[in-house]
Amino acid sequence: METRLWREMLAPYYEAVDEITMKFNHIIRNCHNAGEYSPIVRVEGRVKTISSILEKAQKKGIGINEVENRIKDIAGIRIICQFVEDIYNVANIIRNRTDMKVVEERDYVTKSKESGYRSYHFIVEYEVNLIDSAKRIKVEIQVRTLAMNFWGTIEHSLQYKYRGQMPEHLSSRLYAAADAILKLDNEMSSVRGEIVDAQKSMHQNDVIITEILHNINSLYGVANKREIDKIQTEFYRLYESNDMEMLNRFGNELDVIAEGYRVQSLREDI
* Residues at the contact surface with ligand 0O2, assessed by CB under 6 A: 48, 52, 56, 73, 106, 113, 115, 117, 121, 152, 155-156
Of the two residues 56 and 203, which places its CB atom closer to ligand 0O2 in the complex? 56
Of the two residues 166 and 222, which places its CB atom closer to ligand 0O2 in the complex? 166
Query: Do the strands 75-81 and 42-47 form a parallel or antiparallel pair, or are they unpaired?
Result: antiparallel
Question: DSSP character for 37?
Answer: P
In this structure, the dihedral spanned by the alpha carbons of residues 179, 185, 190 and 193, taken in order and rounded to 10 degrees, is 180
Per residue in 11-46, is it b (16+ CB within 10 Å) or e — as a string?
Answer: ebbebbbebbbeebeebbeeeeeeeebbbbeebebb
For residue 110, give every residue at least 6 positions away whose Cβ sits within 8 Å of its Cβ, in sequence order, or none: none
Report, in Å, the least distance between residue 27 CB and ligand 0O2: 22
Report, in Å, the least distance between residue 153 CB and ligand 0O2: 7
Which helix or strand (DSSP H or E) is residue 45 part of? strand 42-47
The verdict on whether 140 is a catalytic residue reads: yes
Report, in Å, the least distance between residue 158 CB and ligand 0O2: 9
Report, in Å, the least distance between residue 88 CB and ligand 0O2: 18
Of the two residues 113 and 136, which places its CB atom closer to ligand 0O2 in the complex? 113
Candidate list 66, 140, 234, 268, residue with the active-site label = 140
* 128, 15 contact by CB (below 8 A): yes
Of the two residues 155 and 185, which places its CB atom closer to ligand 0O2 in the complex? 155
Q: Which sequence positions are flagged as catalytic? A: 140
